[in-house]
Amino acid sequence: MKRSLRAGLVTTRAGSLLLGAACVLGVLALEASSLAHAAPVAPAPRVRATPPKLPAAPALPRKIVVPPAAKPRVDDVSPELLRARASAARGRGAMQAVQDFPRDRGVALAAVTTNEEALRFVDSRLLRARGFLKAAVLANPYLVMPEMQDPYARDLLEAVLSPAARASLLADPEVAAAVAAHHALLAKVPDLSPAIVPNRRFLAELIANRTSPRADDRRPIAVVAYPAEDWNGQFFGRTHELEGLTRRYRVMFYQVGTDDAFVSALADATKDKRAELVVIGGHGESALAAFGADDPAKLPARARAQLDNPRTSPRVRQRIMDRIAKVNEERYLDFSDRAQLAKVADRIAPGASISLISCSTGKGGAEAANLANFLHEVFPQARIDAPTESVPNLGVKLDARGFYEDAGFAAIGKRYRIEPR
């Protein structure tokens, strides 16, 4: 009996355990089934921790980016170049300016406009550029007008500007018109040699001063008389040495071949007011200055040497004889002209200056019978400047305001001066 009860209890206990396990498994199965059929649950959003705010750092300065240096433009020029361009435009410094800056188009154009000789120093690349040559000729048609050039200038220009290049330029309508205008300008004053003033701009002012002076032109009068004869090119084509005068003076320019022509020029130039400056040019020696004759100091010795030389050609012999035939008193300014000069003595203003650009006309100074002392006797109210020796034509020296200060040859220490009485 006890065994039967004990076995029943064991059986009952095992069944309970099996039933409990079954229940647990059923519950788990139901949960799994419900999870499988239930809608997915969105995960809870993650909350990012916000760091605490720190005080703002001070703003750093922006980095300045320096661009690389730009290549110099054509307009970016040095002070030296600007001074060279200005000097070339004034004429007197043209030769030096173009030698210092032969490749600069501005310097070259200014230089050849005022002094045709400067063309030989222009860089060859510019001379091959038709645009430059055309611009130069339009500014100074004289460059392509051999019929108006003296022999020295003609030889010089032909060495730089070939006949073919000149013909090509003359075929251009603009160049042809400029040349025609230059001829017309010269026709207004027939006494001027075409070769005497190669600068068209300066020539235009000189001719206007004589033919149609402005009524409001209050500049003082400067009379310039250059010779009709010039054997070595010291006067023909060298008028750029006087171009600076136009800033402060109304320049009355004449080319004279006789003493009477000089007196007439002085009278014509001073019709309205007296002259403050008179510049007399001509090859000379102590007692005279040549207007229409060859250099009195050189012709006899040179002529004798050439005539005595059996190799001298007939053409040269004839030219020498022609020059000798021109040697007579009226073609010189000399001591015999006192009565003629007295007629215009009052046409020189008190304190005016007379500058003799004529070799040796002040030779011997105050104790000598020279042309400077003679002119001071005729024009005692004027200051006289004359060279004591043979000198080149260095024009005149102007002060800072542009007025006459001295003769150009004073710079080489060969000037004799007589103060006005």
pLDDT of the residue at 299: 56
What is the total count of domains within the chain? 2
Task: Identify the three-state secondary structure at position 105.
Answer: helix
Domain-embedded: residue 320: no
Parallel/antiparallel/unpaired status of strands 221-227 and 275-281: parallel
Pairing of strands 275-281, 250-256: unpaired
- Select from 180, 199, 218 the last residue of a domain: 180
C-beta neighbour count of 95 within 10 angstroms: 19
Q: Is residue 200 part of a domain?
A: yes
Clarify whether residues 277 and 402 are in a common domain: yes
Domain that holds residue 166: 79-180
Does 343 reside within a domain?
yes
In this structure, the answer to whether residues 153 and 243 fall within a common structural domain is no
Q: Is there a single domain that holds both residue 272 and residue 194?
A: yes
In a domain, 31, yes or no: no
Give the pLDDT confidence score for residue 9 in this predicted structure.
42
Q: Contact, 296 vs 334, CB < 8 A?
A: no
Give the domain-ending residue among 180, 204, 233: 180
- State the DSSP string of 348-407: EEEEEEEEEESTTTTTTGGGS--HHHHHHHH-TTSEEEEESS------EEE-TTS-EEEE
Position 133 scores a pLDDT of 94
What's the rounded Cα separation, in Å, for the pair 247 and 34? 117
pLDDT at 311: 74
Whole-angstrom Cα distance, residue 365 to residue 388? 7
Residue 33 burial (C-beta neighbours within 10 Å; 0-12, 13-18, 19+)? exposed
For residue 305, the model assigns a pLDDT of 66
Residue with tokens 């009355």: 252
Distance CA 226, CA 233 (A): 12
Backbone φ and ψ for 161, nearest 5 degrees, come out as -115, 105
Q: How far is CA 416 from the centre of its chain?
A: 33
> Which pLDDT does position 303 carry in this prediction?
62
What's the pLDDT score for residue 208? 93
169 inside domain: yes
How many residues are present in the chain? 421
Is the distance from CB of 226 to CB of 281 less than 8 angstroms? yes
Residues 104 and 244 in one domain: no
Q: pLDDT of 7-56, one tens digit each?
A: 454 444 545 544 455 554 454 444 544 544 444 555 555 555 555 555 55
Whether residues 238 and 172 share a domain: the answer is no
Query: What is the C-alpha to C-alpha distance for residues 229 and 331, in angstroms, rounded to an integer?
Result: 10
What pLDDT, on a 0 to 100 scale, did the predictor assign at position 10? 45
Block residue for tokens 């788990």: 28
**Which stretches of the chain drop beneath a pLDDT of 70?**
1-76, 91-92, 237, 294-310, 317-318, 320-327
- Examine the domain organization and report whether 264 and 359 are in the same domain: yes
**Are 170 and 226 in the same domain?**
no
Q: Is 18 within a domain? A: no
CATH of residue 221's domain is 3.40.50
- Is 246 found in the same domain as 349? yes
Secondary structure (DSSP) of 303-359: HHHHHH-TTS-HHHHHHHHHHHHT-SGGGEE-GGGHHHHHTTGGGEEEEEEEEEEST
198 falls within a domain:
yes
pLDDT for 174:
96
Do residues 246 and 228 share a domain? yes
Q: Is 268 helix (H, G, I), strand (E, B) or coil?
A: helix
- 277 and 407 share a domain? yes
Same domain, 122 and 240: no
Which of 385, 404, 386, 408 lies closest to 395, judged by CA?
Answer: 408
Is 195 in the same domain as 262?
yes
The DSSP symbol for 168 reads H
Whether 7 is covered by a domain: the verdict is no
Both structure tokens of 219: 């500049």
- Taking the model in full, what pTM does it have? 0.70
